[in-house]
Amino acid sequence: MSGTERQREIYRRWAPVYDPIYARILRRAHRHLAQVAGRHGGDVLEIGVGTGLGLPYYPSACRVIGIDVSREMLERAKARTARHCLRNVASLQIMDAHHLDFPADTFDVVTLPFVLTLIEAPDVVLRECARVVRPEGLILIASRISRGGPLQTRVERTFEPLARRCGLSAAFHLSRIESWCEAERLAHVDQVENLDLAGFFKLVALRPFGNAALRS
Give the length of the chain.
216
* Residue % of the chain over a pLDDT of 70: 82
Supply the range of the domain harboring residue 206: 3-215
Tell me the mean pLDDT in the region 47-75: 96
Give the domain CATH number at 152.
Answer: 3.40.50.150
Question: pTM for this structure?
Answer: 0.86
Q: What local confidence, expressed as pLDDT, does residue 149 receive?
A: 53
What are the distances in angstroms from CA 1 to CA 5, 122, 163? 6, 18, 18
Mean predicted lDDT score pLDDT of the chain: 86
Residue closest to 98 by CA, chosen among 121, 115, 66: 121
**Between 196 and 124, where is the model more confident?**
124
Q: What local confidence, expressed as pLDDT, does residue 157 receive?
A: 56
Specify the number of domains making up the chain: 1
